[in-house]
Amino acid sequence: MADTMLTDAITDDTVWAEPKPTALLILADGTVIEGRGIGAVGQATGEVCFNTAMTGYQEILTDPSYAGQIITFTFPHIGNVGANDEDSETVNAAAASGVRGCVLKTDITDPSNYRALKDFDAWLKARGIIGIAGVDTRALTALIRAKGMPNAVIAHAPDGAFDRAALAKEAAAWPGLEGMDLAKEVTAGQTFRWDETSWVWNKGYGRQESPMHKVVAVDYGIKRNILRLLADAGCDVTVLPASATGADILAYKPDGVFLSNGPGDPAATGEYAVPAIKEVIAADVPLFGICLGHQMLGIALGGETKKMHQGHHGANHPVQDRTTGKVEITSMNHGFAVDSATLPDTVEETHVSLFDGSNCGLRVKDKPIFSVQYHPEASPGPEDSHYLFTRFINLMRARKGQAPLPEQPAPEAAA
């Protein structure tokens, strides 16, 4: 923490001392990290992960897939472009995003971007997100890489008064994300139509006025930019809540079904979601899943999921598309993964992480069904994976006897 001068003038007798910490991050093993409180006042429990993205902190903190987590930003300068009303990714405003807190290296500066409507600290307060600044995030990231993602309590008290023993006990008692169904906490919980298209420089968002394909998107924590890219691709999108049954989905007679991202343990949410997904599979409707939707599709097809050591969180993850041999840089946010060794012979592994070889995509060999682990909507992140939306459109076009559209190519890279 920065030194604080305790006298009115600098002299040879000046006394320097650390200020009293106004925020704590207490890990389940009892480790205490002190810092300066930012954002909302209070305390929250969650799993500590690290995100390596250099931009897009507002999109990250409003991504429902982060529900139940405390995000450590490895990039030191977070908050320097402020916040606005356009870059929120959560659909369910009542539930915010579910993120429990954030950990920063440096203090928040005044915003320096023409789109900023408020400073980052005020934005955190308005959304009820607790933060801590002044932390050695490199050391914390190294700890996570060595020991895995710890459970913790993050607390902010402007007067610096903490019951450390009680907070440590709370951190140790939190059960963690395994077995948690968090989709029910972030889903919009109601059916709605979506026609907003992508943001255009100096124009804002548009509207899809001539949709060609009827798509049902199941909301396990869906992000706005996913829906915008579906609308861009010519889809008339109806969004159903996470609790939707197979009959609910198929009643719309969709040309295609989209299974969204979301937080928590896929096996827990799968207790009610997997039976619905199996009904859609049996109906032979084109199906595209990402993130949690990908994981639960894997379970529905006979595979299993597993908790990852440190997870994948960032906008710089290389993934190889084995169907083309090309490599794309992707945006990721997940702590569970499909165990490719458990997939049946009827399922092909289509994408793999070039960081650790973990499964990042699959397709059913004899059905119009595929999914990826990462976030192709690129909000935030690179746009290498936008071609997947065209791949989904082409499955629907094929079912209608229409010619395929050319896929947006991923960048050329060594296989």
Active site residues: 291, 375, 377
How far CA 369 is from CA of 28, 115, 393, in Å, comes to 41, 39, 12
Give the residue from 308, 25, 24, 27 showing the smallest Cα distance to 173.
27
Give the residue from 126, 176, 194 showing the smallest Cα distance to 311.
176
* Beta-strand runs (E) in 129-182: 130-133, 151-156
On whether the CB atoms of residues 184 and 242 are closer than 8 A, the answer is yes
Give the residue from 170, 156, 137 showing the smallest Cα distance to 30.
170
Sequence-ordered list of residues with C-beta below 8 angstroms from that of 208, at least 6 positions apart, any chain: 195, 196, 197, 231, 232, 234, 235, 236
- Rounded to the nearest 5 degrees, what angle is found at the Cα of 221, between the Cα atoms of 44 and 348? 120
- Say which amino acid occupies 172: A
How does DSSP assign 201-215, residue by residue?
Answer: TTTEEEE--S--EEE
The counts of H helices and E strands in the chain are: 10, 21
End-to-end CA distance of the chain: 46
State the greatest distance between any 2 C-alpha atoms of the chain, in Å, as a whole number.
85
